[in-house]
Structure formats: structure tokens, C-alpha cells
């Protein structure tokens, strides 16, 4: 077994694709409309689905926003330099939720950013 993808419901598909590709540097791997179901799926990631876990962005055509709830945590991305990655994301228009620095009760360097729908994304320094 292996993990294939994580699905996020998004309110504005193009805005989300732009964030994940232009701000976080992922690639749009595939996208398909399902007119009978009134939704579109877009898959983004850092490599092909045969070798990498990716994100499935689901846009229900009749829904422009979602309540995130308190059960969702975050997506985590490993980066070489958390301080630089957070600053690069800020420069590309990304929202920083927590500035880069050591995690609470630990020494691992982390930061948090938000995608356009408010989903938190943790940046973790490469060990």
C-alpha cells in the first residue's frame, strides 16, 4: 500500500491552482470537469502520481467556500531553509500564519502558511 493523495475542497479552483503552482511551486498534473456531478478535480504535486503523494483539489461548482472545522490539522512540506521558503512565499503573495522559528518545546525549525481557502500548510526544515 501507499498513500495516493489528500483531497481538499476549494471555493475557487483557479485561485487554488495558482497558489499551489505559483506560490508553492507544485505542478498541475491533471484536471477534469465532471458536468453531471457539477464538480472539477485538479491534481497538483511535486512529481508524478506514480511516484509521489499529491493533492486533489475538488471544486464543487455550486459552493464558493467551506468551513474548515476543528478536525483538520495541516499539510506538511519539507523545505531546505524554512526562513527562506517562508519569505519566498510571502513575496509571491502567500499568507504567513506563523513566522519561521523553532517549534514549541523543540528545536525543529517550522513555519505555517495558509492557502487561499485557509488550509494551514506547515513548512518543516530538512534534517
Distance of alpha carbon 101 from alpha carbon 120, whole angstroms: 16
| Closest listed residue to residue 6, CA positions, set 56, 67, 60 | 56
8 Å CB contact between 21 and 28: yes
Q: Which is catalytic among the residues 22, 78, 87, 122?
A: 122
- Give the C-alpha distances (Å, rounded to integers) separating 124 from 7, 29, 98, 109, 127: 21, 24, 12, 6, 9
Q: Is 122 a catalytic residue?
A: yes
Distance of alpha carbon 36 from alpha carbon 74, whole angstroms: 31
| Closest listed residue to residue 12, CA positions, set 60, 75, 44 | 60
Which residues are part of the catalytic machinery? 122
Amino acid at each position: 500500500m501507499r498513500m495516493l493523495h489528500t483531497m481538499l475542497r476549494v471555493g475557487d479552483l483557479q485561485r487554488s491552482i495558482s497558489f499551489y503552482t505559483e506560490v508553492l511551486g507544485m505542478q498541475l498534473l491533471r484536471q477534469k470537469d465532471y458536468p453531471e456531478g457539477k464538480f472539477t478535480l485538479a491534481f497538483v504535486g511535486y512529481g508524478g502520481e506514480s511516484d509521489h503523494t499529491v493533492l486533489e483539489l475538488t471544486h464543487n461548482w455550486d459552493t464558493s467556500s467551506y468551513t474548515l472545522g476543528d478536525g483538520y490539522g495541516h499539510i506538511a512540506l519539507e523545505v531546505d531553509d524554512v526562513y527562506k521558503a517562508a519569505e519566498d512565499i510571502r513575496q509571491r503573495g502567500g499568507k504567513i500564519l506563523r513566522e519561521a522559528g523553532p517549534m514549541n518545546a523543540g528545536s525543529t525549525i517550522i513555519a505555517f502558511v495558509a492557502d487561499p481557502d485557509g488550509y494551514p500548510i506547515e513548512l518543516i526544515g530538512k534534517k
